[in-house]
């Protein structure tokens, strides 16, 4: 925390805005579902929702390709663990559910990759299925939509950054229709959170 929050974030950004912190659950299983706009996201989220704020760390589920070399070592120190997005193993899903059952705070980027365009948010199915599976196994997960924004599409030194948390959602049911309905709602809430975050840094989204 000293290196990432007090040194890196403070040194790079001249302002960091946090909106909607009242929506962050302080206990119980939580899945944070943030937009993914830059590698700085992995530092912004613990700053806004990590141990100093909620009393618990952010545990990140990331792709295997990101967990290699020096970056992999650093991500591991941030509490990340790898998943094959195309074919998530039952071992990985079980580990994620065990973390949630223990009251941990899990971060999954449902877009699956960094996206700097202003196109409508499109989500993969992994987060929805994970939350549905956890709920069926008696672990009721609160899914918090999160919007992240920067004053430049590619963050620049002494720019501004913002994170906005929306009201939590709960995933119910199973199957393709339930997954699509939840993803549609989550994408809409993430878009609203990102709009608020973009407005806070002076770069609002332009409605199509």
Instruction: Give the 3-state DSSP-derived string for 87-130, with helices as H, strands as E and coil as C.
Output: CCCHHHHHHHHHHHHCCCEEEECCCCCCCCCCCCCCCCCHHHHH
Residue pLDDT, tens place only, 20-64:
999 999 899 999 999 999 989 989 999 999 999 999 988 888 766
Q: Which residue has the tokens 């699509």?
A: 180
Q: Quick check: 84 pLDDT over 80? A: no
pLDDT of residue 117: 86
Phi, psi of 137 (to 5 degrees): -95, 15
More confident residue, 115 or 2: 115
Token pair 């990102």 in the structure block, residue: 194
Which of the two residues, 69 and 182, has the higher pLDDT score? 182
Return the CATH architecture of domain 2-200: 3-Layer(aba) Sandwich (3.40)
Looking at per-residue pLDDT, the higher value among 85 and 142 belongs to 142
What pLDDT is stored for residue 91 in this prediction?
73
Q: Percent of the chain having pLDDT more than 90?
A: 55
Strand-pair category, 142-150 with 30-34? parallel
Q: Are 54 and 24 in contact (CB under 8 A)?
A: yes
What is the arithmetic mean of pLDDT over 167-194? 92
Q: Please, which pLDDT band fits residue 173 given cuts at 50, 70 and 90? A: confident
Query: Could you read off the pLDDT of 86-100 as tens digits, one per residue?
Result: 556 667 788 889 999
Could you tell me the pTM of the whole model? 0.89
Instruction: Give the pLDDT band (50/70/90) at residue 70.
Output: low
Across the chain, mean pLDDT equals 87
């Amino acid at each position: 925390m000293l290196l990432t929050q007090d040194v890196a974030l403070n040194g790079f950004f001249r302002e960091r805005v946090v909106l909607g912190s009242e929506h962050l659950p302080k206990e119980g299983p939580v899945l944070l579902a943030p937009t993914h706009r830059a590698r700085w996201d992995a530092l912004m989220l613990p700053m806004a929702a990590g141990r100093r704020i909620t009393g618990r760390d952010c545990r990140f589920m990331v792709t295997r390709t990101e967990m290699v070399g020096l970056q992999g070592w650093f991500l591991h120190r941030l509490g990340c663990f790898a998943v094959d997005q195309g074919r998530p193993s039952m071992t990985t899903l079980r580990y994620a559910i065990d973390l949630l059952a223990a009251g941990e705070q899990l971060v999954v980027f449902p877009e699956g990759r960094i996206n700097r365009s202003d196109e409508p948010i499109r989500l993969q199915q992994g987060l929805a299925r994970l939350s549905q599976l956890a709920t069926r196994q008696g672990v009721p997960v609160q899914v918090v939509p999160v919007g992240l924004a920067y004053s430049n599409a590619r963050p620049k030194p002494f720019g501004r950054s913002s994170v906005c948390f929306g009201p939590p959602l709960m995933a119910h049911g199973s199957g393709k229709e339930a997954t699509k309905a939840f993803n549609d709602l989550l994408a809409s809430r993430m878009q609203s959170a990102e709009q608020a975050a973009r407005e806070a840094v002076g770069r609002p989204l332009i409605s199509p």
